Each structure stands twice: as C-alpha cells, then as structure tokens.
C-alpha cells in the first residue's frame, strides 16, 4: 500500500487507515485482530482509535494484538483524548488534566510507551492554550510523537495551528481528522482550505458516508447493518435521504462501468482528494476490509471524478 506524509510533517502513513470505532461492540476481538493482521500484511500502517471507542475496548484489542499478531513498529497508532461517553451522555473535557489522564489510560491499554499521533478529539470549553500545552507536554515527555486535532471546523483548526506556530518550543498541529465523503463535502468549505494554508494533512473519517455509499441500503435497511442497530441507527439516518440515494446510485453506476464496487469508488474518490493524507475506513468484518483493500490498485479516471464532484456539490476548488 502506498504511503503519504501527513501535511508538512515527517510522519508517513498508509493512504488508507484502519478505524476501530466498532471494535469490541459490533466487531468482536477475533475479527478485529484478523483485520489488523490482514491490513498490515497489505502494507497498511495507520490504525486510528480512541478511549471513547467501546469505552477503551478498541485500544485494549490493539494492545493485545501487539503481543501476538503484529509488530509495534509496523503500526502508526493514532489515538485521541478529551472526549468520553458516559452512558447516554457525551462528555467533552479538553482540560490539561483530562487530556493527560486519557493519554495515560490509552498507553496502558495499548501496551506501548508512546502513540505516533495524539489528537484532540473535539473542540472543548477549556482554554485553547491549556489544551495545546497538554499536546506539547505529551511530545516533550515522549508519550506522543506528533499531535493533531479531530472534528475541528476551519476557524478552530486555524486557531490551534496559529497558536502552536507562535511559540518556537510548541509542537505543530500536523493534522485534522474530519468526516469527508461524497455525502459529506462540507469539509471543503473551510476545513480543507485551512489545512492547506497551515500545511496540515486531512485524515478523512467515514469516507463511505457512514456505510451508506457501500450500497447496502439501496433496497432497504439490512437487519445486520448499522442502520438497524439500536445504538448506531442515529449515525446512519441522516444519509438515508432521497438526495443521498441519488448519490449512491451515481456511485454504483460509476462502479459498474469501472468494474469496481460502490464502496471502492467512494473510498478512492476520498483517498485521492486534495490535502487528504489518509482515508480512514471502519469495516466491521474481514470481508468488508478485503473489498476495501482491493481498491488500492485502482484510481478513478478524471472524467468520473469530475462527474461525481458535479453530482455531489460542484468542483473541488483545490483539485
């Protein structure tokens, strides 16, 4: 698998990342470890996780896999801090104490002394300088190699990047991880231009439109899908609209002409979009991962890319 640098940093990651949101919940430990082995064998390196994923279960699975399935040096481990799930409540706390507490917990669960990329999971109420000082401390102490942000809108990522650049001893923000797909192109309005200006890489989560662009919902909601899951249906429902269905049909037609599946077309469009360092997929099964890995050898013709751009909101101004 080809790799790319993240923004202007020296960190190299596979251009497709493996997300772990469902590990320990919809994806059991056995399937998760199978996918991790298969991903590394295909040349993948970036594995994205967070303390909030399965209340730490995803990180625990990765940590156990480091003992028996893959070598630590084969992975670029990205995790996050500042966001937890307490029952039905989502809690954002980006204070220094909460951030470093999350990182210490991540390192214990991951069975490693450092993570390669540590990200602020969401914009919080704590002063930005306090949050950023926690990022600096993590790198200076050796607990993290690089730092980034996640789910920051354009002005938020610019504020963080500018603050860090203002001090010679501060660690640069190298990435912003945001949702980006043919069903969610709003990142192109401010987030991607901000990343371009500040020389940050974009890590695109949910490039398959929360699974909808894979085409599984074309005939209804499958019983084993996220859309039918009591805990995850809210996540999928915004993309089960008539407008989204039209996009899915266009993606499917493009795939038919190219000999690709809808999921492969959707992934390739995001993976090769300007400023994207890696497209982070979240397959729930090994077979889904295999399908996505097969997209590595393909790229979309310029005419198809332009047509999909037009259908979903117009040209990408950075393309």
For 81-139, what is each residue's pLDDT tens digit?
999 887 778 899 999 999 999 999 999 999 999 999 999 999 999 999 999 999 999 99
217 labelled catalytic: no
- pLDDT value, residue 226: 73
At 45-87, the pLDDT tens digits run: 999 999 999 999 999 999 999 999 999 999 999 999 999 887 7
- CA atoms of 187 and 192, how far apart (whole Å): 6
**Averaged pLDDT score across all residues of the chain:** 95
What dotted CATH number matches 3-208+273-298?
A: 3.20.20.100
Average of pLDDT values for 243-247?
95
Residue ranges with strand state E in 40-198: 46-48, 76-81, 83-86, 89-92, 115-120, 144-150, 173-179
At 183-225, the pLDDT tens digits run: 999 999 999 999 999 999 999 999 999 999 999 888 778 777 7
Does the pLDDT value for residue 275 go beyond 90? yes
- pLDDT value, residue 230: 67
- Its sign, for the CA torsion 154, 158, 161, 164, is negative
């Amino acid at each position: 698998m080809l790799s790319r640098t993240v923004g202007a940093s020296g960190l190299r990651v596979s251009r497709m990342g493996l997300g772990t949101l469902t590990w320990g919940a919809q994806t059991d430990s056995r399937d998760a470890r199978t996918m991790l082995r298969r991903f590394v064998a295909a040349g993948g390196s970036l594995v994205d996780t967070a303390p909030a994923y399965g209340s730490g279960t995803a990180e625990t699975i990765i940590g156990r896999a480091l003992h028996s399935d893959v070598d630590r040096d084969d992975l670029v481990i990205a995790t996050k801090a500042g966001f937890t799930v307490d029952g039905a409540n989502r809690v954002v706390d980006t204070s220094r104490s909460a951030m470093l507490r999350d990182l210490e917990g991540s390192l214990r669960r991951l069975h490693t002394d450092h993570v390669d990329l540590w990200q602020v999971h969401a914009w919080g109420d704590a002063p930005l300088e306090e949050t950023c000082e926690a990022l600096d401390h993590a790198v200076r102490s050796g607990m993290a190699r690089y730092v980034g942000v996640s789910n920051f809108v354009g002005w938020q990522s610019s504020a963080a990047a500018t603050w860090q650049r203002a001090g010679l001893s501060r660690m640069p923000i190298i990435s912003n991880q945001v949702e980006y797909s043919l069903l969610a192109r709003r990142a192109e309005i401010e987030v991607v231009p901000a990343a371009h200006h500040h020389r940050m890489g974009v890590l695109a989560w949910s490039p398959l439109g929360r699974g909808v662009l894979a085409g599984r919902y074309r005939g209804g909601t499958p019983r084993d899908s996220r859309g039918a899951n009591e805990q995850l249906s809210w996540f999928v429902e915004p993309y089960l609209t008539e407008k989204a269905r039209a996009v899915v049909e266009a993606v499917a037609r493009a795939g038919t002409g190219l000999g690709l599946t809808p999921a492969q077309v959707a992934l390739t469009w995001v993976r090769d979009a300007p400023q994207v360092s890696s497209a982070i997929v979240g397959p729930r099964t090994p077979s889904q991962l295999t399908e996505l890995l097969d997209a590595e050898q393909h790229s979309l013709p310029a005419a198809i890319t332009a047509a999909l751009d037009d259908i979903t909101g117009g040209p990408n101004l950075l393309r």
